[in-house]
Structure 1
Amino acid sequence: MSGLVNKFVFRKHDSVGAPAAEHDATFLEDCYVDTGDVELLLDRTSPKRIIVGRTGAGKTALLYRLTQVGHNVIQLSPHDLSLNFIATNKVIAFFEESGVNLSPFYVLLWKHLLVVELIKCRYQIKDDDSYNNFMRSISSMVKKKDKNKELAVDYFETWGNKFWQTTEERIHELTTRVETSLSSGVQAKFKGVEFNAEGARNLTTEQRREIREHGLDAVSRVQIRELENMLTVLDENIFDDNRNPYYVTIDMLDEDWADDRIRFKLIRSLIDVVNRFKRLSNVKVILALRNDLLYRVLNLESVSGFQEEKFKALYLNLKWDRKDLECIVQKRINKLIKRNYTKEDVGFLDVFPASVDGQSTFTYILERTFYRPRDVIVFINECLELCSGRPNITAAIIKEAEGGYSLERLQSLAHEWKNILPDLAHTSRLLFGMQNKSPVSSLSLDVLQEKFEDIAISLESESTDPITRQLYALYQSGSGNFESIRNYIIREFYAVGLIGIKTGPTDPTSWTRLNNHARLAPGQVRPSSTIYIHPMFYRALGIRI
C-alpha cells in the first residue's frame, strides 16, 4: 500500500462486513473461504447433512454458498413453513401435556412437507394445468402391477391438487386430520374436559393413562399409508437422474419460530426424517443447527426408541483453523480498501501493527475469539470504529477496541445459551476479578458465597436457570453439596466456552473448541485441576493476568 502513504485514511462506518451472513451479501460473495465443506455437502454419497456449529461459525454462510454453486437448491426456513400453527393448537397442546408421544405425527408432517416441496420444484406445479401434466407423467412412470407404487400415486391424487396451496394451508389441513383423530371419542368419554394444556393438567392419573392409550392409537391411525411408499417412488421414478440432483436446505431453526415445548420435538423429528431421506440417492436434505440447540433437542428430553448414536454420522462439525481465518481477514480488508481507495492489493499488516504486547497482532486477536469468523469480523470492526481519519490501526486502538468487543461477546454468549442457562449474563460474573488461571480449589465455599451475594440482586429465586437454582440451594436452603455444585458450575462454564480446564498435571488444557464441544464428566473436575478464563472475556470480567 506504499502508493497510499499519507493519502489513505479510514472513514467513519468503514467495516469488513456484517457479523451475520444474512446481512453480509456485499462481502460474502467475494470473500468466501472454502474449507471443503461445500463439496462435502454437495456429495450425495457423503452422510454429512446436518451442519453443526456455534453462533457465528458460518452455518448460514455455508448454506448461502451452496445455493450459489449448487443446482436445484430449495431453501426453507421454519418461518416459511408456518409451524407455529401446531405450537398454538389447543388439541395438540392437550395431548402433549397428557403425555401422548406425538413424534409419529411430527415425522409424518415433515415427510409430507418435504415431498410436496420437492415435487413442486421438480415439476413446477403452480396451478391445475401443471398438476394435471404431472399426474399424467407420474401415472405413466409407475407400473400398475406394483401395488406399493400405486399407493404412492393415490397419495398424489389425494394431496396433489393442493400442492400449490400456501404451506400454511397444507399444514392446517394435515393438522386438522390429526386433531379430529385425537379428539374423536375423548370428548364423549371425558365430558367437561377442556381441550387445552390447562385441561390436561387437571386430569386424574387414571384419565391420563386412558388418554395416552387413546392418543397412541389415534396417531397410528392418522398415518398416511401412501406416504410410506413415497420415498421409493421418489428415488426410482422421479429423482432418478444422477446428473440432476436436488437439495433442500433448512436454516433458522435456532430462532423463535414456535414455543420451545413443541419446537424441540419438531426439530428432533426433522433430524429423524433427514436420516430417512438418505435412501434417496439424488436428493439431499441439509439442516443447520447450533451446538447448544442440538444438545437440548437430543439430551434434555428422552424419547423411547430415539438413539442419538445413529445420527452422529450425519453431523458436519464446523471447524476453522488459523490459516482459514487469516485468509478471511486478508480478503475482507483487501475488499474494503480496494473498493474505496486503490487498485493495489492490501494486506493485514498494511493497516495493523506487527505486534500487541509483544505478541503478533493476528495471534493476539485470534486468542480472543472462539476461532469463528464472526468473532474476528466483530473485533476488527470494533477497531475500525475507533480509527476514523487515520491511515492505520495502532496497538493502542486494538486495546481500546477490546473493551467494547469483550463486553459485546459476553452478551452474545449469554444470548446464545439463553435456552439452557437463562441467567448466564449474571452467573458469569462469578468469575469477575479472578486471575486468568487458578486451581479449582481457589473457588472456595466462602469465595463463591461472596461472589453469589454480589450477583444475587440480579437473580430470581424461582429462576429456571440450573446454576442459579444450585446456588440458592447451597446458600439459602443449605441443601446442596458444595463440591458437587462447584463442579457443576465449572462444567457448565466449560461447555459454553467461558473457561478451559487442565484436569490433571500431565493433561493438556482442554477447550470446547478443541474437544469438539464435548462436555466434561463430573469426575474430570478435581480441586487440583486448573481453570483458565478465556481471553475473550478478560476485559468484560476484569480478569487479572
Structure 2
Amino acid sequence: MKNQSNPAILRPGTTIGSIDAENDDNFLFECFVKKYDLDELLDQNSPYSIILGRTGSGKTAIVKYILSCKEKSQEIDLADTFMNYIANSNIIKFLNDIGLDLSLLFQTLWKHILCVEYIKIKWNITQQQENNNFLTRILNKFSKEKGKLERIQNYLDMWGGDFWLETDEIVKNITQEYENKFEAELGVDIAKKVKISGKYDNKLKEEKKVDIKNRVQKIISSDQLKCLQNLIDLLAKESNDQRCIYLLIDKLDSNWVDIQIRFKLIKALIDVLNKFRSIEDFKILVAIREDVFEKTILETKDIDTQREKLESICFQLRWEEHELKEIVNKRIALLYKRKYSKDFISYDNIFIDKVGQKKSFDYLISKTFMRPRDIISFVNECLSISNGKTLISEKSIRIAETLYIKKRIQAIKEEWFSIYPELEEIIQLVQSFERNRLEIKDFIDKFDDAIITLASLSYESYLINETKNYLNNISPLAPLLFTKHIIVCLFRVGLINVKNNNNYLHSNSNQGIISISEINENTSITLHPILQQRQK
C-alpha cells in the first residue's frame, strides 16, 4: 500500500543526485544525513584523525559538510600543491630510485605545511604585514625564554616570511630549498643529468649510489623534525580549546602522483598526525580510501603492528540500512519538491512494494555494499528506466539492476586494482561456479586452471608472486593455501561472506579483513548478490 499517490510523470534526466560528492552540491547539503557518531569524529579530544571508508562511503561528503558548518575550517587541495610538485621533482625521483629513505624528508615537509596552515588560519595571515605581526608576537612571547626561542630561531629565520603565501608557493619554496642542497651534494655533472631526465640511477655503480645516499642523508636529518616539533610545542602553549580549527585533507586516491612516491607520502602524513595532538584547538582530518590505506600499510615492514597501531585513530565509515533509506527519502523528497510537487514524496510513494517476495528497498539494498554511492546509483538507474511513468515497477527495477551491477563490478575492479590487479580473473573464477554457496574443495578442484591463469599475468602483486612460487615448487598444501589467499581477497573487497562452523563473518560489517589463519577446510562462503545475478 502506498502512503500517498504519486501522479507526477517521471521525466528524462531525473536523478536523486550525483554519485560523486564533488558534483553533488544540489542535493548534498540539504539531504545530508548526520551519522550518530559524527560528533565524536569532530570532538577535539577524540583520537580520530583518519576518515576511513571505501569508495562511495561518504568521505568527501563529510569533508564538505565540515567545511560548510565549521567557521574555522580549511581543505588542502593536494592535487595542485604538495603531491604533484614532489612527484614531478626529478631530483627526488632519482633519490628514491637509488634507494634513499625519504621518510624523514616527507615527514619534515608535512610538518612544515601543517604548521603553516594552522598559523595562517589561527592568526588570519593573508598579507605580509600580518605575517610580520605574528613573528613579532612569537618573538616577544619567548624573549625571556632564550632556550626555547633558539630552538626555533633557525626555522623562523628561513621560513617565517612565507607564512602568508599560498600553500602551493610554500611547498615549492621548501622543496626547492631541499633540491638545491641535494644538487650540491650530487655534484654539478650528476645533478645536471638528473634534472634533465630523472633517470640516471642505472648508470651509477653501487659504490657511487652508497656514497650519494650517505652524503644526502645528512641533509635529511632528524634535526629539522626536532626543530619543527619545537615549533609545535610552542604553538601548543598558544592554543586553547575555545574554537577548534579543522584542517581537512582529501583526494589521496587521485591519480596525480607517481605511484612509487605516492604511498611513501601518505605514510609520512599518517606518521606525523599524532605530533599535532598537543595543539588543543587544532584537528587534522584525513579522508583515505580503504584500498589506499591498505596499500600504504602493505608498504611497511611490520604490517600487523602498524594496522593495530593505526586502528585507534581511524573513524570507520559504516552505514546501517535505515540510514541509507533516510538518504534516499530525503533526496526523493527534495527532487519532487523542486520538479514535481509540493507534497512530501518518499521512496514508498514511487517504488513498487515488493520485488519477488522481498520488500523493494530490501531488494535494492541487498545489491549494494551498504554505501551511499551504491544506493544512489541504483535508484538513479531505476528512475532512468521509468521515464514517462508514475511508479517504478518490479520490471523496471530488474532492468535497472542489470545496468547497475555491471557498473558496480567494474568500479570494484578499479577501486582495488593497486592491491589486487588480478581481481578480474578471480571474479571470473568465482562466476564459473554454478552455485552461490561454495566450499573450500570447490576452489581446490579448479586449482590447476586458476594458478596457470594468475601466473600468466604481468602485474606485480603479493598473490601473483605467490602463484608463481607455487608453479615452481608445488607442495600438497599449495592448493589449500592458494584458496585461502583467494578467499582473503574476495572478502576484503566485499564480494563474499564467510562461515566458519557457526561463526558468520560479513565483509560489509566492521570486520572488513579476514586472515588466512581464520580459514580452514570447513570454511564455506556465500557470494554477494551482485555476483549471483551475473550467473543467471
Q: TM-score, normalised by structure 2?
A: 0.90
Tell whether 2:337 aligns with 1:341.
Answer: no
1:406-460 deviation per Cα after TM superposition (whole angstroms, max 9, x unaligned):
1110011011111112242343111124211121212244x3555678x78xx96
Q: Conserved in 2, the CA contact under 8 Å of 1:12 and 1:385?
A: yes
2:330 maps to amino acid: K
Distance 1:357 1:7, change over 3 A: closer
Q: Distance in 1 between matches of 2:302 and 2:96?
A: 13
State which drifts further: 177-186 or 49-58: 177-186
2:355 maps to amino acid: V
What is the Cα deviation at residue 37 of structure 1? 3.7
State which drifts further: 394-403 or 522-531: 522-531
**Percent identity of paired positions between Structure 1 and Structure 2:** 28
What's the counterpart of residue 527 of structure 1?
521
Secondary structure at the counterpart of residue 80 of structure 2: coil
State which drifts further: 178-187 or 9-18: 178-187
What is the Cα deviation at residue 220 of structure 1? 0.9
Secondary structure at the counterpart of residue 229 of structure 1: helix
Q: Distance in 2 between matches of 1:90 and 1:10?
A: 55
Distance 1:506 1:36, change over 3 A: closer
What is the Cα deviation at residue 369 of structure 1? 1.0
What's the counterpart of residue 53 of structure 1?
53
Distance 1:355 1:23, change over 3 A: same
What's the counterpart of residue 414 of structure 1?
413
State which drifts further: 335-344 or 397-406: 335-344
What is the Cα deviation at residue 134 of structure 1? 2.6
Secondary structure at the counterpart of residue 79 of structure 1: helix
Q: Distance in 2 between matches of 1:148 and 1:209?
A: 37
Tell whether 2:211 aligns with 1:220.
Answer: no
Q: Distance in 2 between matches of 1:448 and 1:331?
A: 48
1:102-130 deviation per Cα after TM superposition (whole angstroms, max 9, x unaligned):
11111110111111122222333333322
What is the Cα deviation at residue 167 of structure 1? 3.0
What's the counterpart of residue 482 of structure 1?
479
What's the counterpart of residue 324 of structure 1?
323
State which drifts further: 186-195 or 329-338: 186-195
Q: TM-score, normalised by structure 1?
A: 0.89
Q: Distance in 1 between matches of 2:469 and 2:3?
A: 66
State which drifts further: 77-86 or 14-23: 77-86
What's the counterpart of residue 125 of structure 2?
125
1:297 maps to amino acid: T
1:360-384 deviation per Cα after TM superposition (whole angstroms, max 9, x unaligned):
1111111111111111111111111
What is the Cα deviation at residue 473 of structure 1? 6.2
Distance 1:193 1:129, change over 3 A: closer
1:5-57 deviation per Cα after TM superposition (whole angstroms, max 9, x unaligned):
47311111111111111111111111111113431232111111210110111
Q: Distance in 2 between matches of 1:99 and 1:478?
A: 31
Equivalent runs, 1:283-432 vs 2, <5 Å: 283-302=282-301, 307-432=306-431
Q: Distance in 2 between matches of 1:253 and 1:53?
A: 12
1:197-239 deviation per Cα after TM superposition (whole angstroms, max 9, x unaligned):
64334444444444443333221177276423111221212xx
Q: Distance in 2 between matches of 1:6 and 1:221?
A: 67
Distance 1:29 1:189, change over 3 A: closer
Show structure 1 runs of 4+ deviating over 6 A: 1-4, 188-193
Distance 1:450 1:3, change over 3 A: closer
Q: Conserved in 2, the CA contact under 8 Å of 1:77 and 1:253?
A: no
Q: Distance in 2 between matches of 1:11 and 1:191?
A: 62
Secondary structure at the counterpart of residue 293 of structure 1: helix
Q: Distance in 2 between matches of 1:214 and 1:113?
A: 26
Q: Distance in 1 between matches of 2:528 and 2:247?
A: 37
What is the Cα deviation at residue 297 of structure 1? 0.6
1:39 maps to amino acid: D
Q: Distance in 2 between matches of 1:151 and 1:265?
A: 28
Q: Distance in 2 between matches of 1:245 and 1:192?
A: 47
Q: Distance in 2 between matches of 1:330 and 1:473?
A: 52
Q: Distance in 1 between matches of 2:431 and 2:3?
A: 47
Q: Distance in 2 between matches of 1:451 and 1:32?
A: 45
Tell whether 2:506 aligns with 1:511.
Answer: yes
What's the counterpart of residue 462 of structure 1?
458
Secondary structure at the counterpart of residue 420 of structure 1: coil
Q: Distance in 2 between matches of 1:155 and 1:367?
A: 56
State which drifts further: 352-361 or 128-137: 128-137
Distance 1:11 1:157, change over 3 A: same
1:271-305 deviation per Cα after TM superposition (whole angstroms, max 9, x unaligned):
1111111111111111001111111112233289x
1:237-256 deviation per Cα after TM superposition (whole angstroms, max 9, x unaligned):
2xx24322211000001111
Q: Distance in 1 between matches of 2:147 and 2:56?
A: 49
Q: Distance in 2 between matches of 1:13 and 1:426?
A: 35
1:335-381 deviation per Cα after TM superposition (whole angstroms, max 9, x unaligned):
11122222221222111122111011111111111111111111111
Q: Distance in 1 between matches of 2:191 and 2:67?
A: 53
Q: Distance in 2 between matches of 1:91 and 1:6?
A: 64
Query: Between Structure 1 and Structure 2, how many residues are aligned?
Result: 532
1:387 maps to amino acid: S
1:228 maps to amino acid: Q
Q: Distance in 1 between matches of 2:202 and 2:391?
A: 64
Q: Conserved in 1, the CA contact under 8 Å of 2:318 and 2:510?
A: no
Q: Distance in 2 between matches of 1:120 and 1:514?
A: 40
Secondary structure at the counterpart of residue 502 of structure 1: strand
What's the counterpart of residue 498 of structure 2?
501
What's the counterpart of residue 177 of structure 1?
177
Q: Conserved in 1, the CA contact under 8 Å of 2:246 and 2:284?
A: yes
2:237 maps to amino acid: E
2:509 maps to amino acid: L
Secondary structure at the counterpart of residue 52 of structure 1: strand
Q: Conserved in 1, the CA contact under 8 Å of 2:185 and 2:212?
A: no
Q: Distance in 2 between matches of 1:37 and 1:163?
A: 35
Distance 1:143 1:495, change over 3 A: same
Tell whether 2:489 aligns with 1:492.
Answer: yes
2:76 maps to amino acid: L
Secondary structure at the counterpart of residue 30 of structure 2: helix
Q: Distance in 2 between matches of 1:354 and 1:496?
A: 31
Pairwise CA RMSD: 3.0
1:524 maps to amino acid: E
Q: Conserved in 2, the CA contact under 8 Å of 1:354 and 1:361?
A: yes
What's the counterpart of residue 138 of structure 1?
138
What's the counterpart of residue 440 of structure 1?
440
Q: Distance in 1 between matches of 2:87 and 2:191?
A: 25
Q: Distance in 2 between matches of 1:530 and 1:300?
A: 31
Equivalent runs, 1:31-46 vs 2, <5 Å: 31-46=31-46
